[in-house]
Structure 1
Amino acid sequence: MRVKCVICDTINNLDDDLPLAKKLRNRPIHTYMCDICHDRIKDNTLARIETGNFRFYRTSPQMDKDF
C-alpha cells in the first residue's frame, strides 16, 4: 500500500498486512506520518514540556498544577 506523509509529502510503501495499513484503509480520517516527522514532533514536544510553558488542555487544572 502506498501512503503519503501529511507533513513532508514523502511517499512510502507499507505492507498490506500491517495493522496500520488496515487502519488507514478502513478509516479515512486516520492519516499517515513518516517516522522522521513523528520523531521530530516528539522531540519538539518533549523540549516544550521541559521548558515548563507547555499545558495539557485535555486534563483538569489540578492535574496541570501537579505536573
Structure 2
Amino acid sequence: MNVDDRVTRDSVLRVKKPVGSVIRITNDYIIVKWDNINGQWHYTHEQAKKLQPIEDENESR
C-alpha cells in the first residue's frame, strides 16, 4: 500500500464500502481520508490489513 492509493473496507461509521485515499504512512499508522466522511482516520498496520486496495478508474485509462 502506498500514499494516494484508493482503498475501501467493509464499513466506517455505518457507511458500507466507503472509498478513500491513503494520505500518509508512518511507522505506526496508515492514515486514510474517506470520501464523504469527515476527518483523517488513523489505522495501525494491523488494522490496515482490513483495507482493500481498489483500482482507480483514471488509472485504467
TM-score in terms of structure 2 length: 0.31
The structure with more strand, counted as a fraction of residues: 2
Which of the pair has more CA radius of gyration?
Answer: 1
Higher relative contact order (CA 8 A, sep 6+): 2
The structure with more helix, counted as a fraction of residues: 1
